[in-house]
Amino acid sequence: MKHISSLDRVVCFGRPGNHPVIDLHVHPDYSIDAKGSVEDFCLKAVEMGLRGICFTTHLDTDPDYDDAYVVVNGKRLSVFDGRWLENYESEVRTAGDSFRDRGLQVRLGVEVDYYPGALEVLPDQFHETEFDLVMGSVHLVDHMQMSTEKDALTTFRKLSLEELGERYYGLLTQCVETGFFDLLGHLDIYRRYGERFYGNEIHSLWSSHLKGLTAKMKAHAVGFEVNTSSWRKGMQEPMPESSLIRALRKSGITTVTVGSDAHNPADVGADVDRALDLIRNCGFDAPFDFLKRRPVMMADIT
- Could you tell me the pTM of the whole model? 0.91
With a cut of 90, say whether residue 236 has pLDDT above it.
yes
Domain 10-297 has CATH 1.10.357.10: no
Domain boundaries, the chain: 10-297
What average pLDDT does the chain have?
Answer: 90
Residue 166 has a pLDDT of 97
Residue 223 has a pLDDT of 98
Residue 3 has a pLDDT of 43
Residue 19 has a pLDDT of 53
Mean pLDDT of 128-153: 92
pLDDT in tens, 77-135: 999 999 999 999 999 999 999 999 999 999 999 999 999 999 999 999 999 999 999 99
SS3 annotation, the chain = CCCCCCCCCEECCCCCCCCCCEEEEECCCCCCCCCCCHHHHHHHHHHHCCCEEEEEEEECCCCCCCCCEEEECCEEEECCCCHHHHHHHHHHHHHHHHHHHHCCEEEEEEEEECCCCHHHHCCHHHHHCCCCEEEEECCEECCEECCCHHHHHHHHCCCCHHHHHHHHHHHHHHHHHCCCCCEECCCCCCHHHHHHHHCHHHHHCCCCCHHHHHHHHHHCCCEEEEECHHHHCCCCCCECCHHHHHHHHHCCCCCEEEECCECCHHHCCCCHHHHHHHHHHCCCCCCEEEECCEEEECCCCC
